[in-house]
Amino acid sequence: MRAALLGTSVLAAGALLSGPARALAPDALLARLDPQNAISFAFVAGSLVFALTTAFVYRIEQRRSAEREAGLRAELAELRAAADRAETVIGAESQLVVSWDGRDAEPRIEGDPNALGPAAAGKRLLAFGAWLAPADAGALDGALTRLRERGEAFRLTLRAQRDRFVEAQGRALGGRAILRLRDVTGDRLELLQARETLVRQGDDLKNLRALLEGMSQPVWLRDGEGRIAWANPAWLAAVEALSLEDARARGLELLDRGAREDAATARAARDRFAARTTAIVAGARRTLDVAETPSPGGFVGIAVDVTDLEEVRADLQRQMQAHVRTLDHLPNAVAIFDSSQHLVFHNSAYRALWGLDRGFLESGPSEGEILDRLRAERRLPEQADWRRWKADVLASYRAIEPQETWWHLPDGRTLHVVANPNPQGGLTWLFDDVSEHLSLESRYNSLMRVQGETLDALEEGVAVFGSDGRLKLANRAFRALWRLPQPAPGEEPHLESMIAACRGLAPDEDAWAAIRAAVAGDAEGRTELALRLARRDGLHLDCAVQPLPDGATLIAFVDVTASVNVERALIEKNEALEVAARLREDFVHHVSYELRSPLTTIIGFAQLLGDETVGGLNDRQREYAGLIMRSSGALLAIINDILDLASIDTGSLELDPEEVDIRETIDAAVRGIDDRIAENKLSLVIDAPGGIGGFIADAKRVRQVLFNLLSNAVGFSETGQTVRLSARKTAGEVVFEVADQGRGIPPEVVERVFDRFESHTLGTRHRGVGLGLSIVRAFVELHGGRVSLTSNPGSGTTVTCVFPADGPQRLAAE
């Protein structure tokens, strides 16, 4: 601009001075200028001065702007360096920093996202109750509120989950509220844990001391030399001492000389001392159970007053002896067993009843031994399940009320047996032989009871009608099935009244007519009958009518509702499965023609764009074309996997067996994963013997299996790790193994990794829909092979696939 102004001024001045005026002197020139030329000359001169002044000012301002821009750039670089240093400082330590610009501003979280564990990752960090102890979460929440509202700084040590400690520091800085959370580790963590353990043990010690001081039994503690180091108030009261110092000064002891010497001998040998002895306690002679046990600092002892117990035991013994003399003269057999089920008393009638030897009984055998001996001598009732019957007999020891039962012995005698629990534990058995009075009645009642109990135990409803058409017998299941009341004693309802009562639930006239003819018809009509009744309440009953030899008729009803419902459910399920199969076939058809075909077209056009056959692309367009190719290829692989699984389920997938070169198949699978191996900077080791040869299989499916295994291993591997693919050919089998050095799989996830749509990233960058391993197992098993997976967290994962060497036809042959 300045050059243009100068040029214009010079040209104007040159025009005025052109011609003859150039040779004139200045004075002469001014004299020849007329007023018009003077004005022009003045204008040109003023323009020239203005242009020069403007150019000079512009140059000064340009220099100042350049200096200001350089200063701003230097300040920006310094700020960026400061920001980088701040991020380095924050990231150098396992911590998280949360900042707020105002009360209602969104928090900004910076630092290591895994510093406090997965429970505090991301936005869950501010949900303190999810990863802190409840009390600490409330304290941190309150301190943070005061910081944001009033700017009060704080510093807390908090307890997180899994016995971890977190240091929280809050402060206001530059109008912002800053919260720093740091996981406490190293010596400080050990100090905090030790302090917590010390506090907890101190509380336990205080509680134990309070408990011992509140006990009514004397408790004491001796040092390593046997001197009293501590005693509770009960011990001081027992020895009548004012304090522990008073007891030491006077040499007071609770035990007498003999017990003290025995205790001293046990202490010298560092053994436990226990004895029952007498001692003077608060001026009275008492019987004590004394125990003194070695402890880390000396010996701890306790004395329990059992004087009252001894007196009660002696009185009880006297009463027992009186009862024994009385019971020994009773005609009924009596046997008393203690709480351990051992015989402590028996009278002469008991020995005579069972014919047992006096020496055997006086040896105190257990009741189980007595029962086994009586059974061996065939003196007890015969039992189909002896162990269960014996257990039922011995269960009387756990009963609260007396139990009565009848024992029918093999020799024809009948015993009325009473098991009466003793107050001090154990049982008193009373055996009364009532054979002479109840022999005939017992046999008749037993027969009727066995018959009735047998019928009542049946789940089927059973009824017997006599030749006169009246109900002679019906079990509980029959009455409950038809909701009939219990008949009065001697009442025998007629068949017609029974049918009328049952018709309300099952109004099938033809069925009841057939039952009526079978029960009350002529001799030719009384034949076996089987039919099914459908009741109003949804129950289905199978009815069986069976004529009996004495002219009676037995009718049995069986509830088959569950079977009918299962049959109906199976029919409905089969229909649903057929519909699902048709839907699945339709789904496969639509996916094949409605998704895969357009996707193939997209891939083709994207490839044309990427190859630049239709025109050149810039870098961004070329990147976008590559993304389209990779995403379309991944989507096509997912669709192909779904189609393969659907084809396997429908049984339409057929293998194309051929001679498969193992090494070529491995190389083909590796080529498909080369870019990912290079991108992740992984090492691939192929372990296959030279000349390993081949086997009979579907080459395409084997390559797909190896590709999926390698893709899965690469996805779960970290940068710099190694993926190993090995192949071995043994007798009749070809074994492929793919191993990685990733994080491994937890045991609870291993069981589900082969399920469809089970995707577990386990914190890695691997992503997928969970079909890779499902496809692997499906193809291997379709060949007649097997798949196994071994993994431990932190030690990587190994997947082993075993193919039959002679082809998929081996499975069909088996």
User: What 3-state class would DSSP assign to 286?
Assistant: strand
Give the Cα separation of 660 and 694 in Å (integer): 5
Angle, helices 35-91 vs 2-16, to 10°: value is 170
SS (HEC) of 552-581: CEEEEEEECHHHHHHHHHHHHHHHHHHHHH
- Residue partners of 519: CB distance under 8 A and separation at least 6: 465, 469, 495, 526, 545, 553, 555
**CA angle, 489 as apex, 483 and 493 as ends, to 5°?**
55
Q: pLDDT category, 264, cuts 50, 70, 90?
A: confident
Which is higher by pLDDT, 224 or 272?
272
Give the Cα separation of 667 and 703 in Å (integer): 9
Q: Can you give the pLDDT at residue 50?
A: 85
Sign (positive or negative) of CA dihedral 706, 710, 713, 716: negative
Q: pLDDT category, 2, cuts 50, 70, 90?
A: very low
Which is higher by pLDDT, 197 or 796?
796
Per residue in 357-370, pLDDT (tens digit) is 888 888 889 988 99
Residue 637 pLDDT > 70, yes or no?
A: no
Give the Cα separation of 761 and 768 in Å (integer): 8
**Eight-class DSSP state of 383:** -
Torsion angle (degrees, nearest 10) of CA 51, 53, 55, 60: -170
Q: How many alpha carbons fall within 13 Å on the CB side of residue 797?
A: 24
- Tokens 């102890």 found at: 133
Residue type (1 letter), 364: G
User: What 3-state class would DSSP assign to 521?
Assistant: coil
Pairing between strand 722-730 and 683-687?
parallel
For the chain, helix, strand, coil in percent to 5 are 50, 20, 25
Residue 19 pLDDT > 60, yes or no?
A: no
Residue 17 pLDDT > 70, yes or no?
A: no
Q: What integer best gives the mean pLDDT of the chain?
A: 78
- Residue partners of 117: CB distance under 8 A and separation at least 6: 131, 160, 161, 162, 164
Give the Cα separation of 636 and 633 in Å (integer): 5
The radius of gyration computed from the CA coordinates of the chain, to the nearest angstrom, equals 52
Q: Are 728 and 785 in contact (CB under 8 A)?
A: no
SS (HEC) of 217-249: CCEEEECCCCCEEEECHHHHHHCCCCCHHHHHH
**Burial class for 736, CB neighbours closer than 10 Å (0-12, 13-18, 19+):** buried
Q: What are the DSSP calls for 649-660, one per residue?
A: HHT------EEE
Strand partners, 789: 799
Q: Are 474 and 463 in contact (CB under 8 A)?
A: yes
Give the Cα separation of 603 and 161 in Å (integer): 50
Choice among 2-6, 123-127, 538-542, 709-713 with the minimum mean pLDDT: 2-6
Q: Can you give the pLDDT at residue 737?
A: 92
Give the Cα separation of 536 and 618 in Å (integer): 80
What distances in angstroms separate CA 23 from CA 17, 33, 40, one per listed residue? 9, 14, 20
Provide the percentage of residues in the chain whose pLDDT is more than 70.
Answer: 80
What distances in angstroms separate CA 402 from CA 371, 427, 447, 606, one per listed residue? 20, 9, 26, 92
Which is higher by pLDDT, 206 or 273?
273
Q: Are 803 and 783 in contact (CB under 8 A)?
A: yes
Give the Cα separation of 183 and 113 in Å (integer): 12
Which is higher by pLDDT, 121 or 727?
727
Q: What are the DSSP calls for 293-326, one per residue?
A: EEETTEEEEEEEE-HHHHHHHHHHHHHHHHHHHH
Which is higher by pLDDT, 51 or 439?
51
Residue 412 CB neighbour total at 10 angstroms: 10
Give the Cα separation of 720 and 711 in Å (integer): 16
Residue 15 pLDDT > 60, yes or no?
A: no
Q: Are 353 and 370 in contact (CB under 8 A)?
A: no
Q: How many residues does the chain have?
A: 814
User: Among 668, 667, 671, which Cα is nearest to 688's?
Assistant: 667
- Residue partners of 755: CB distance under 8 A and separation at least 6: 770, 774
Q: What are the DSSP calls for 615-644, one per residue?
A: S---HHHHHHHHHHHHHHHHHHHHHHHHHH
Residue 538 pLDDT > 80, yes or no?
A: yes
User: Among 155, 146, 163, 148, which Cα is nearest to 182's?
Assistant: 155
Residue 87 pLDDT > 70, yes or no?
A: no
Q: Can you give the pLDDT at residue 581?
A: 66
Q: Can you give the pLDDT at residue 585?
A: 62
Residue type (1 letter), 802: V
Give the Cα separation of 638 and 631 in Å (integer): 11
**Phi, psi of 635, rounded to the nearest 5 degrees:** -65, -40
Q: Can you give the pLDDT at residue 86?
A: 62
User: What 3-state class would DSSP assign to 751?
Assistant: coil
Q: Are 721 and 683 in contact (CB under 8 A)?
A: yes
**Phi, psi of 171, rounded to the nearest 5 degrees:** -160, 160
User: Average of pLDDT values for 144-172?
Assistant: 80
Residue 5 pLDDT > 50, yes or no?
A: no
Give the Cα separation of 454 and 319 in Å (integer): 47
Q: What are the DSSP calls for 389-444, one per residue?
A: HHHHHHGGGG-SS-EEEEEE-TTS-EEEEEEEE-TTSSEEEEEEE-HHHHHHHHHH
Residue type (1 letter), 111: G
What distances in angstroms separate CA 213 from CA 133, 207, 219, 220, 287, one per listed residue? 34, 10, 8, 10, 22
- Tokens 């011609």 found at: 19
Per residue in 53-62, pLDDT (tens digit) is 888 888 888 8
Q: pLDDT category, 802, cuts 50, 70, 90?
A: very high
Residue 749, both tokens:
């996830």
Pairing between strand 154-160 and 164-173?
antiparallel
What distances in angstroms separate CA 704 from CA 107, 311, 738, 746, 757, one per listed residue? 48, 89, 14, 26, 18
Q: Can you give the pLDDT at residue 263?
A: 83
User: Average of pLDDT values for 530-547?
Assistant: 87
User: Among 115, 98, 112, which Cα is nearest to 185's?
Assistant: 115
* Alpha-helix runs per DSSP H in 125-185: 134-150
Residue 325 CB neighbour total at 10 angstroms: 9
Per residue in 405-432, pLDDT (tens digit) is 888 888 888 888 999 898 878 888 888 8
Residue 197, both tokens:
């353990």
Give the Cα separation of 343 and 426 in Å (integer): 9
Q: pLDDT category, 151, cuts 50, 70, 90?
A: confident
